Structure 1
Amino acid sequence: MAARPLIVFDVNETLLDLETMEPIFERIFGEKSAMRLWFSNLIMYSAALTVAGCYVPFTDIGSAVMKMLADTRGIKIGEQDRKELTERFSTMPPHHEVPGALRKLRDAGFRLFTLTDNLLEVQTRQLEHGGIVDLFERRFSADGVKHHKPSRQAYGYVERELAVEPSRLCLIACHTWDTLGAVAAGWQAALIKRVGNDVLGVGPQPQIVGNDLNDVADQLIALHRGRA
């Protein structure tokens, strides 16, 4: 019988509530929907820079994207704005169901890890602030390999560090681009349908889809019940 997979979590929006970033964008841009435009551009340009062979830390890209969006609207971004962006991004709270669902998975015998594009120090602060850092056996950052997700190198970094085959790993994320990269790398994957996120009908598909982390956790536990 196959062993339980090692569970690797995306962090931003998957575990932490990205919508708590909206007030800073509403203040600067006059509309909270600017946060979604910023985040989608952050992901796009982190992937574009990676494909172009030019690594830039995730937080630096986030700051540059915010300025770029402001420049297109004739808005001036000050140092205080950049500091507030960094502070809010580093202190996003977990989604309400996340702490209990993580404990449920751990109590069921799953080993839990993270893999995020954030710098390790940013990720650590996020998880410490959210009170969930101790639930993870180890935390990984794409900075360790200088390739943002969904590049093959980012997932391969975790495989090498944990000394396991790709098939032993399962990514949980709320972004289809992330699960697409994981499944293409030979991992299992579960997609959480957070607000604005859903299944893409082309490309490698996640094996599990759920409405929140509790839903995904229950499906994983049922699927692997009785496995070592």
Structure 2
Amino acid sequence: MSDLPLIVFDVNETLLDLRTMEPTFKRIFGDKVDMRLWFADLVMYSLALTAARAYVPFTEIGAAVLKMLADAEGIRIERADGEELKEKFATMPPYPEVPGALRKLRDAGFRLFTLTNNLAEVQTCQLERGGISEFFERSFSVDSVKVYKPSPQTYAHVENELGARPSQLCMIACHAWDTLGAVAAGWEAAFIRRSGNDILGVGPQPQIIGNNLADVAEQLIARHAGR
């Protein structure tokens, strides 16, 4: 096995642009609820369900949170609204720098993988329709262990499947809870400062911080160039 770390990417918002869902939320909710509140609640309730030992697929939590927020505002969610958001979520485009940065990492000898809260079939659709599936050797879903990131079991599952030690893996994400979980599991981690996300100043910290994936890729290559 190469001395280069195996790179594991988060998908939603790290690689794919979540902001493309904003117009649909604006149409449904006006100024009452924005997309970021929905996504923050989606993550929060995935963690709450994990803590309660009650696994529910990510897409189902997303739909339930959408209805909860609408009910709280007295807004009726039509079936077509839910279907539109589901389609938007499955077809988010990658950020502009992502394809080039993935190619640069692969050309430098890094092996690339993904680990997401999405169901496997949703992740496959996202990567294929985003035109970046070719860069990844394999994709992992928390559905295999029925607990959400940053639970230790999610990272251990990837280690077991790849036959790798924690020190041989590097997580790239734009969410502090994900890099926190990876570093706590013994992985290296790189954090991308996407819009609306930044470093949490407590707990395990990522070794690399960049403003986009191109920045992170350059730092990773420089960090491991001598190997």
TM over 0.5: yes
Q: Which amino acid aligns with 1:7?
A: I
CA apart distance, 1:85:
1.0
Q: Which amino acid aligns with 2:215?
A: D
Task: Name the CA distance, whole Å, in 2 between partners of 1:130 and 1:24.
Answer: 19
Aligned to 2:184: 184
Aligned to 1:85: 85
Task: Name the CA distance, whole Å, in 1 between partners of 2:184 and 2:225.
Answer: 26
Aligned to 2:154: 154
Matched-pair contact (CA < 8 Å) for 2:33–2:69: no
Bigger shift: residues 91-100 or 74-83: 74-83
Question: Are the structure 2 counterparts of residues 63 and 104 from structure 1 closer, same or farther at C-alpha, using a change threshold of 3 Å?
Answer: same
| Deviations 1:119-164, CA, capped at 9 Å, x for gaps | 0100000010111001000000000111110111111110110011
Aligned to 1:214: 214
Aligned to 2:202: 202
Q: In the alignment, does 2:125 pair up with 1:125?
A: yes
* Equivalent residues in 2 for 1:24-39, closer than 5 Å: 24-31=24-31, 34-39=34-39
Task: Name the CA distance, whole Å, in 1 between partners of 2:172 and 2:31.
Answer: 30
* Equivalent residues in 2 for 1:1-228, closer than 5 Å: 3-31=3-31, 34-227=34-227
Question: Are the structure 2 counterparts of residues 108 and 14 from structure 1 closer, same or farther at C-alpha, using a change threshold of 3 Å?
Answer: same
Displaced runs of 4 or more, over 3 A: none
In percent, how many aligned pairs have the same letter? 71
Matched-pair contact (CA < 8 Å) for 1:25–1:31: no
- Secondary structure at 1:194's aligned position in 2? coil
| Deviations 1:24-78, CA, capped at 9 Å, x for gaps | 1000000396100000000000011011100000000000000000000000111
Task: Name the CA distance, whole Å, in 1 between partners of 2:33 and 2:52.
Answer: 29
Matched-pair contact (CA < 8 Å) for 2:170–2:188: yes
CA apart distance, 1:80:
0.8
Matched-pair contact (CA < 8 Å) for 1:142–1:154: yes
Question: Are the structure 2 counterparts of residues 188 and 58 from structure 1 closer, same or farther at C-alpha, using a change threshold of 3 Å?
Answer: same
Matched-pair contact (CA < 8 Å) for 1:23–1:32: no
Task: Name the CA distance, whole Å, in 1 between partners of 2:186 and 2:47.
Answer: 20
Bigger shift: residues 2-11 or 168-177: 2-11
- Secondary structure at 1:191's aligned position in 2? strand
* Normalised TM-score (structure 1): 0.97
Matched-pair contact (CA < 8 Å) for 1:22–1:32: no
Q: Which amino acid aligns with 1:120?
A: A
| Deviations 1:168-202, CA, capped at 9 Å, x for gaps | 10000000010001101111100000001111110
Count of aligned residue pairs for this structure pair: 226
- Secondary structure at 2:95's aligned position in 1? coil
Matched-pair contact (CA < 8 Å) for 2:15–2:94: yes
Task: Name the CA distance, whole Å, in 2 between partners of 1:94 and 1:31.
Answer: 26
Q: Which amino acid aligns with 2:154?
A: A
- Secondary structure at 2:114's aligned position in 1? strand
Matched-pair contact (CA < 8 Å) for 2:174–2:191: yes
CA apart distance, 1:21:
0.5
* Normalised TM-score (structure 2): 0.98
